[in-house]
Copies of this chain bind each other. A is one copy, B any other.
Amino acid sequence: MPHLYPVLLCGGSGTRLWPLSRKSYPKQFVKLGDGETLFQAAAQRIAGPDVMAPVIITNSDFRFIVTEQLAEAGIDPGAILIEPRPRNTAPAILAAVQFLAARDPEALLLVMPSDQVMPDRAAFSAAVRAGLPAAADGQIVTFGIRPTRPETGYGWLELAHPPEEARPAAIPLRRFVEKPAAERAATMLADGRYLWNAGIVLMSVRTALAAFETHAPQMVTPVRRAVEEARTDLGFLRLAEEPWRLAEEISVDYAIMERSSNLQVVPFGGDWSDLGDWASVLREGEPDARGVATHGPVTAIDCEDTLLRSEADNLELVGIGLKELIVVAMPDAVLVADRDRAQDVKQAVTALKAKGVRQAENFPRDHRPWGWFETLVLGERFQVKRIVVHPGAALSLQSHFHRSEHWIVVSGTAQVTVDGEVRLLTENQSVYVPLGAIHRMENPGKVPMVLIEVQTGTYLGDDDIIRYEDVYARGQGAKG
């Protein structure tokens, strides 16, 4: 029995779910409901004796979010490949294929986006199992979602014949249909031979290599070199930058799929959503009889067909007399949009970015290799931060020209170094770091260390930093 490797595409940074999804921490990593994140769900979607640890493809910015979320969910990754820059899906998938080809040439791979909702794992597993014979036989197997509405926002798949109702089985693909007009979508919905394209692909390493060599040969050498010359760094595999730059930026659909003839589709009848915009979150959010879906501390009075989300326990959201609206409230950003304009959130984020608004791309919490921090208050000549350091992690050895710092440990244990003197601080103990002192903060313990930092000085920017040593190999003036 060949091994099956889930390959998770995790480099996306969609902005259509702003303000909850931002470039620095996009939707696959966000807790949309009360349980796991979309990425954590995707990493556990398929299981079995033949299923290997997932191979994850992400970028440098997200690498520590990926490891943090895998650790939280208790998942041991097979490999985490770091793209030096985004190149769309084709080079990313090819990199995973070549990575596996060198290790397990008989392998099958199941390529999945990491930002979809598919709650019924048993049904998905059955669909994948139904596609295995075709995949082993050299077919490229895609998965088609049974449509429930005339959706114009997705690509569709035209099958050779309507699927049978009984059990899932691979059916030859006749052709891909690009995002259709409304009338065409209605016709396809009624026809029965059309499914939504979920962007999930099952194929063997061998088939994948052959497809790329046939349809995108110019990409093969640069990506192979990027994988061969990759360097290991703190458990990540960093693809080599120079050859990677030469790989064409193109989607796997255009590069391979639409040029191949060995395509099969396994229908999937379970619940599925790509959560492509807030309107789809409203649909998936189990709205009540009046069409209202809420999340967090929300009071809805006489509302209809409306999504009301508060993303913080201490942020009270009240809606009165609303119809067909999307409201998403966070302590630093609030979106209120007509439901039918949900696709224009992207445009709003572009406008914010042009204005130089921090919230366009960044959250108050800043994730770093060693943990995260957030500014609690920024005053004139002072700043208060909450800093959380992972067990075993360390900030760089550093000094500042313009500020002194008071550190108070409020949870866990810190090992602090100030001008060469090392000591342990536990809950309720503090230390003073004078201006210019060379200092470091570490968490030698087994639980997260939480520290309140009070900075005073004339300039409090993150770039007032001289680094002397850094386990994460960051340079002068770089943050954190």
Contact = CB atoms under 8 A, between A and B. Distances in A.
A411 B380 contact: yes
Contacts of A351: 299, 301
Given A352-B318, A384-B452, A301 B357 contact: no
Interface stretch (A152-160, A165-173, A240-248, A424-432): A424-432
A352 B299 contact: yes
Contact of A377 (B347, B352, B376, B382): B376
Interface residues of A, number: 60
A317 interface: yes
Contacts of A338: 320-323
Interface in A30-55: none
A303 to B, nearest CB: 9
B333 A454 contact: no
B321 A337 contact: yes
Interface string A361-387: 000000000000000110111101010
Nearest to A326: B320
Contacts of A103: none
Contact of A333 (B19, B318, B344, B427): B318
Contacts of A379: 410-411, 450
Interface in A377-423: 377, 379-382, 384, 386, 404, 406, 408, 410-411
Interface string A315-347: 111111111010101011111111011001101
A454 B410 contact: yes
A325 B338 CA distance: 11
B320 A359 contact: no
A302 interface: yes
A269 interface: no
Given A301-B347, A348-B301, A315 B332 contact: yes
B381 A299 contact: no
A299, A334, A379, A427: most-surrounded residue (chain B CB, <10 A) = A334
Contact of A382 (B318, B325, B450): B450
A437 to B, nearest CB: 13
Contacts of A377: 376, 386
A336 B352 contact: no
Contact of A352 (B316, B332, B430, B452): B316
Interface in A301-315: 301-302, 308, 310, 314-315
Contact of A456 (B310, B344, B348, B410): B410
A297 interface: yes
A355 interface: yes
Contacts of A318: 19, 333-337, 345, 348, 352
Given A320-B348, A321-B344, A336-B322, A355 B299 contact: yes
Given A430-B406, A432-B430, A341 B316 contact: no
A311 to B, nearest CB: 11
Nearest to A403: B428
A155 to B, nearest CB: 25
Given A299-B352, A379-B410, A384-B376, A456 B430 contact: no
Given A382-B411, A382-B450, 10 more contacts: A299-B348, A299-B355, A315-B333, A318-B336, A322-B338, A334-B334, A384-B384, A406-B406, A430-B430, A430-B454
12 contacts: A299-B348, A308-B336, A317-B333, A318-B335, A320-B341, A320-B344, A322-B338, A331-B332, A382-B450, A406-B408, A408-B454, A452-B452
**Nearest 9 A/B pairs, CB to CB:** A321-B338, A382-B410, A320-B337, A321-B341, A376-B376, A428-B456, A329-B334, A316-B359, A316-B333
Interface of A: 19, 297, 299, 301-302, 308, 310, 314-323, 325, 327, 329, 331-338, 340-341, 344-345, 347-348, 351-352, 355, 357, 359, 376-377, 379-382, 384, 386, 404, 406, 408, 410-411, 427-428, 430, 432, 450, 452, 454, 456
